[in-house]
Amino acid sequence: MNDKKTVFSGIQPSGKITLGNYLGAVKNWVDFQEDCRCIFCVVDEHAITVRQEPAKLRAQTFELLAQLIACGIDPEKYEDTVLYIQSHVPQHAQLSWLLNCYTMFGELSRMTQFKDKSSKYSDNINAGLFTYPVLMAADILLYKTDIVPVGIDQKQHLELARTIAQRFNGVYGDTFTVPEPFIPKAGAKIMSLSEPTKKMSKSDSNENGYILLADTPDVINRKIKRAVTDSEALVCRRDDKPGVNNLMTIYSIAAGKTDEEIVKEFEGRGYGDFKTAVAEALIEMLRPIQEKKDYLLQNKDHLEKIYTESAKKAEWLASRTLEKVYRKVGFVAKGK
Ligand code: TYM
């Protein structure tokens, strides 16, 4: 199409979008639209590796699409951006099956997310949970992706996608582009507010641990006030201050300030003032996103038009890769 780099990333519709998802991934996706071809996907097929309530999954998918557009992912403004739903493009599942045959059992057994999730959902350790990273590799490799912007928790999966691509290329000659991760310097791992040594996660049973993009100002104020810090009353970044470090990261991105500026601003002041400032900066950052999301959700036809047109473009690109891969492994081409 053109010589722009291709960016691919995905997000699960398995709950509401958190501040971690936004700062670690989505905020960076927005910037890539300026000079890259961007393919963004709501990965509903990944979401069902954990049991979902059907009506809820459907509603969450719509809400996530609206939220992503409200954050600035905009296929109407950027003609090289697409935003679609994974299950609308069948090539993801098709390539995933094929890549399963080029991925080793041992490699999948070593995935830390599989180990974590299989202990968390011990009553449902299904094969999809195990082969989850292969579907992720298929997502990425279908589009000749150069760059994959993600939070640090996805790094191991990205490395496996690279290994699978290299292995396939080694056997059949140059087929897949080997993707590079893009992990932001600040925000790659936003921590839980209540247990700041753990990742902020939407599946946390304690809702004070995470901020949702949809949280009201009152809720944001309350959660930030309750955020775990320490007893030193000193705003600075240090290894033994995980709670303060996390709030500094959040504040630094939301208010656009450096660590030095933050340390200076709160010199001789307690955590109370600091937390008020963090909450205010967050509320201001999220206000326009929330207003836009509410507006978009009222107009589902418009959302449908966006994801349908995007899926058509994605399917066209994906089908070309899949045909090539089928040919390489020796499948007989369909008759015309
Ligand atoms: P998911 O839906 O769990 O998260 C979406 C993105 O948010 C990032 N993230 C975080 N970043 C910083 N701090 C946090 N606390 C935090 N929590 C989540 C994640 O790293 C991710 O970038 N498997 C993926 C979805 C996926 C995908 C792909 C991503 C499917 N196919 C292909 C990239 C390429 C996932 O579950 O993300």
Residues 145, 151, 157, 159, CA torsion sign: positive
Query: Does residue 194 form part of some domain?
Result: no
Query: Does residue 307 form part of some domain?
Result: yes
* Per-residue model confidence (pLDDT) at position 231: 93
To the query of whether residue 199 is one of the catalytic residues in this protein, the response is yes
* Per-residue model confidence (pLDDT) at position 227: 97
Query: Which residues, listed in sequence order, are joined to residue 147 by a DSSP beta bridge?
Result: 7, 180
Choose between 16 and 23: higher pLDDT. Answer: 23
* Per-residue model confidence (pLDDT) at position 189: 96
The continuous run of DSSP H or E covering 84 comes out as strand 81-85
Please list, residue by residue across 46-85, b when 16 or more beta carbons sit within 10 angstroms of its beta carbon and e when fewer do. bbbbbebeeeebeebbbbbbbbbbbbbbbbeebebbbbbb
Which residue spans within 159-281 are E strands per DSSP?
180-182
Same domain, 120 and 90: yes
45 is written with which tokens?
A: 């097929």
Same domain, 93 and 111: yes
* Per-residue model confidence (pLDDT) at position 202: 85
What's 278's domain CATH number? 1.10.240.10
Q: How far is the CA of 280 from the centre of ligand 1 (A)?
A: 26
The best mutation among 131, 153, 177 to test binding of ligand 1, ranked by most ligand atoms within 8 Å of the C-beta, falls on 153
Is residue 151 in contact with ligand 1, taking CB distance under 6 Å? yes
The whole-angstrom separation of Cα 134 and Cα 99 is: 6
> Would you say residue 174 has pLDDT above 80?
yes
Same domain, 261 and 317: no
* Per-residue model confidence (pLDDT) at position 219: 98
To the query of whether residue 117 is one of the catalytic residues in this protein, the response is yes
Same domain, 53 and 138: yes
The residue range of the domain holding 278 is: 207-293
Closest by CA to 63, choosing from 212, 185, 174, 278, is: 212
Query: Does residue 101 form part of some domain?
Result: yes
Q: What are phi and psi of 25, to 5 degrees?
A: -135, -70
Q: What is the pLDDT of residues 140-156, one digit of tens each?
A: 999 999 999 999 999 99
* Per-residue model confidence (pLDDT) at position 2: 64
The best mutation among 21, 130, 142 to test binding of ligand 1, ranked by most ligand atoms within 8 Å of the C-beta, falls on 21
Same domain, 226 and 79: no
Query: Does residue 318 form part of some domain?
Result: yes
Helix axes 155-172 and 112-120, enclosed angle (nearest 10)? 130
What's 14's domain CATH number? 3.40.50.620
Same domain, 162 and 247: no
Query: Does residue 336 form part of some domain?
Result: no
The whole-angstrom separation of Cα 12 and Cα 45 is: 9
Same domain, 287 and 306: no
* Per-residue model confidence (pLDDT) at position 204: 87
Same domain, 13 and 109: yes
293 is written with which tokens?
A: 């999301």
Same domain, 157 and 45: yes
> Would you say residue 1 has pLDDT above 60?
no
What domain count does the chain have? 2
Query: Does residue 73 form part of some domain?
Result: yes
Query: Does residue 195 form part of some domain?
Result: no
The whole-angstrom separation of Cα 35 and Cα 275 is: 36
Same domain, 114 and 229: no
Same domain, 315 and 224: no
Query: Does residue 334 form part of some domain?
Result: no
Same domain, 100 and 154: yes
Q: What is the pLDDT of residues 175-230, one digit of tens each?
A: 999 999 999 998 999 999 999 999 999 888 899 999 999 999 999 999 999 999 99
